[in-house]
Homo-oligomer: A and B are copies of this chain.
Amino acid sequence: MTVTIEKALVVGTGLIGTSVALALRERGVAVYLSDVDARAVRLAGDLGAGREWTGEEADLALIAVPPHLVGERLADLQRRGAARVYTDVASVKVDPIADAERLGCDLSSYVPGHPLAGRERSGPSAARSDLFLGRPWAICPGAETAADAVRLTRELVSSCGARAVTVEAAEHDAAVALVSHAPHVVASAMAASLAGGDDVALGLSGQGLRDVTRIAAGDPLLWRRILAGNAQPVAGVLDRIAGDLAAAASALRSGDLDEVTDLLRRGVAGHGRIPGPRGAKAG
């Protein structure tokens, strides 16, 4: 098997798929584009992301569709012999892998993946070739995954300027529940509490509030699907945070400021554990 990606197929030309396609094009890779929405393919093509797929065999196929469609699309592409290696970008990993298994997919050529990058905007017009620069990109090979498939997927990751982080699928889902999915719900709950605030109160908003609530602007239907695919791990994190906030409210009412100070201190410690942007840690 070749260890270089010369031809890539991108299935799903939304924000992520088109951004990967643009990054690969900058490296001189031939990129074929496919999407159920013909306009999205045309737009991505016009942006220089590649040309429409008409059945050519690729070295690697990137499946950039919503999590609940990954297994089905993988099975279909494998039946057509679309590529030698397949990877996806779904933000959860346990369910898509279970779908692939259930649908009888060849698991040796499938490397589950998840680039930790995104924007508030979506669609091909929001794509950028540098979207993944310095960002972590989880890959979750299983026991059956072929070493060459992993190698080609790692080449894809580094071609996008990202850093591969190898992690077991269930551990991945618990991790993103903590660092991505629960924070989204927390930001939403904070922002939701503003809906009833009066204009004078909102007029006193500062950068702190804007930062805490920024991600709450994300598409509710997209996030509904993401949360549905990782419900139990997210619920566990939210319960702990809800408990801390209820205890803080009760401590404030009773004047027990020590308990509140302890939460603030734990917050400083937890904040200090987040790696900086474009972190130098390699996976």
Contacts and interface: CB of A to CB of B under 8 A. Distances in A.
A72 to B, nearest CB: 20
* A interface secondary structure, majority: helix
Nearest to A269: B195
Contacts of A232: 252-253
Interface in A211-260: 211-218, 220-221, 223-224, 227-228, 231-232, 234-246, 248-250, 252-253, 255, 257, 260
Contacts of A208: 118, 180, 183-184, 187, 214-215
Given A175-B197, A192-B270, A274-B194, A212 B212 contact: yes
A136 interface: yes
A2 interface: no
Contacts of A249: 234-236, 238-239, 242
Q: Which size class do A's interface residues fall under?
A: 35 or more
A204 to B, nearest CB: 5
A194 B238 contact: no
Contacts of A121: none
A239 B277 CA distance: 33
A54 interface: no
A2 B4 CA distance: 78
B185 A204 contact: no
A77 interface: no
Contacts of A224: 257, 260-261, 264
A8 B214 CA distance: 39
Nearest to A282: B203
A263 to B, nearest CB: 6
A206 interface: yes
Contacts of A172: 204
A48 interface: no
A266 B180 CA distance: 19
A184 to B, nearest CB: 7
Interface of A: 116-118, 135-136, 138, 165, 167, 171-172, 174-176, 178-180, 182-195, 197-198, 200-218, 220-221, 223-224, 227-228, 231-232, 234-246, 248-250, 252-253, 255, 257, 260-261, 263-275, 277, 279, 281, 283
28 contacts: A116-B205, A135-B206, A136-B203, A172-B204, A179-B209, A180-B206, A180-B208, A187-B208, A190-B267, A191-B270, A193-B270, A194-B273, A210-B277, A213-B267, A217-B268, A218-B264, A224-B257, A224-B264, A227-B260, A228-B255, A228-B257, A231-B252, A235-B248, A235-B250, A235-B253, A238-B246, A239-B246, A242-B242
